[in-house]
Amino acid sequence: MTASLRWLTPLAAACFAPCLGHAQIDPVRRDLIQIGYNLALQGHQPLAAYAFFYHNQPEFLRTNLTLRVALAPTYLDSELGVRQAFGPHTDLGIGLAGGGFADSYAEIRKGQYLPGESFVGHGAELSLRLYHLFNPEGRIPLHGVLRGGARFQAYAEGDNTDPAFSLPENRASVNIRTGLRWGGREPVLFPSLAMELSIWQDTQFRSDEGIYGYHDREVEPAAHAFWGQAALSYTTPSQNHNFNLSLSLGTVIHPDRFSAYRLGALLPLVSEFPLSLPGYYYQEISARNFALLSGNYLVALDSRQRWNLNFTAATAAVDYLDGLEQPGNWHSGVGTGILYRTSSWKFMVGYAYGVDAIRSHGRGAHSIGMLMQLDWGQAKEELFSPTTPNLWQGLQRVLGLFGN
């Protein structure tokens, strides 16, 4: 594998996920570029990052069609939404996804990344989804989702996979997900206003089970996951301070390394339900049961709310997956950062500390990170339609560095 592909392997594994499993068809036109990166300052970790372009286009070809595409360096996830396909309040989604490296697996045990027990995975998926609105007159929508999908996964050795380590068999799987979501949140960094209460069930049936690795781990023929989330984002009207709170709980029946909940790192758009622990490696903790409480608080530092100070914290109680246990069942992390934002982009750099993360010196781990979001639709309007017909002044408005 070339050096460039080694760089893309963990990146692509993270960046296809942000748009999977939505509970309703997105009604808003969006063109967003999202980038996130975490760098651990102790130890050796798999690359923790995402980078993708999110395009959502209502009235695609016809007034009742919506096209959603998430494009990552080596992966494409898409859905064609058909509004009112089965009545006035029931929509249909036809999903197609596929590409390289998205099913790769990184083994992390007691704070140590083990490349010899890690491997590359590729996949493709076809899915059908039904979205039903239960309260069309309600102020906060209550959606039900029923999703069925078929996925094929193929595995290959990475550059550092131990030759004595046996890979899992290539396999097909069938996935069935059901859920109820009251409210929801937009796929953006630090939403100004959002709330969600949701419960979910997800079942996977695998065509190939069996032993792999050093004949010490196995793929379960079926796994059943149950989880729920309560989340609130709010901006105070007087001071424009923004806070986000989230409580997530989950359990898995018949878990294995491919279906366990994996917590770690601060990457808020890495998936629809990110399990972030500031200061930890990405997906460092593997759990069969977990409870995660997290929050962040944004304080504006200037009257225009361009410069902001961010504080974040998370704590989790976990019941480990067999074979990946650690001393203690609590994990916590804290962090801070500086956010600069305009109407079209947000950029934050920050520091995080994993309070209970295990490293060679004992407990505690430091990391730095970056998050960026560019609203390309808004940026194009500001760039090519400035108040004066001058390209450079349009660029100034996009970056928000000069002018009003």
DSSP category for residue 389: S
Closest CA to 301 of 239, 343, 372, 347: 239
3-state SS, residue 41: coil
- CA-to-CA distance for 1 and 273, rounded, in angstroms? 31
pLDDT in tens, 275-312: 999 999 999 999 999 999 999 999 999 888 899 999 99
pLDDT reported for residue 394: 54
3-state SS, residue 273: coil
- CA-to-CA distance for 155 and 323, rounded, in angstroms? 21
pLDDT reported for residue 21: 41
Q: Is 77 a member of any domain? A: yes
- Judge contact between 12 and 52, C-beta under 8 A: no
Tokens 């309040």 -> residue: 89
Taken in order 255, 258, 263, 268, the sign of the CA dihedral is: negative
DSSP category for residue 255: -
Q: Is 307 a member of any domain? A: yes
The residues with which 119 forms a beta bridge, in sequence order, are 105, 157
pLDDT in tens, 202-254: 999 999 888 999 999 999 999 999 999 999 999 998 888 999 999 999 999 99
Angle between the 391-399 and 376-384 helix axes, to the nearest 10 degrees?
150
pLDDT reported for residue 303: 85
Q: Is 321 a member of any domain? A: yes
6, 78, 370, 371 from 72: Cα distances, Å: 15, 11, 18, 16
Binned average pLDDT, 10 residues per bin, the chain of 404 residues? 34 36 80 96 90 96 96 94 96 96 94 97 97 95 97 96 97 97 92 95 93 96 97 91 96 97 95 94 97 96 92 98 96 98 94 97 96 90 61 54 44
341, 349, 374, 380 from 387: Cα distances, Å: 20, 31, 21, 13
Tokens 């998050």 -> residue: 371
pLDDT in tens, 121-131: 999 999 999 99
Q: Is 404 a member of any domain? A: no
Q: 109: which residues sit within 8 A by CB, 6+ positions away?
A: 323, 324
**Domain extent at residue 220:** 3-399
Which CATH number do you get for residue 36? 2.40.160.50
DSSP category for residue 167: P
Q: Is 138 a member of any domain? A: yes
**At residue 379, what is the residue type?**
A
pLDDT reported for residue 378: 85
- CA-to-CA distance for 21 and 11, rounded, in angstroms? 20
**At residue 63, what is the residue type?**
T
What is the CA angle 107-110-114, rounded to 5? 30
Q: Is 169 a member of any domain? A: yes
Q: Is 33 a member of any domain? A: yes
Instruction: Count the domains in the chain.
Output: 1
What is the CA angle 207-73-278, rounded to 5? 85
What is the CA angle 20-258-111, rounded to 5? 105
pLDDT reported for residue 271: 87
- CA-to-CA distance for 65 and 284, rounded, in angstroms? 40
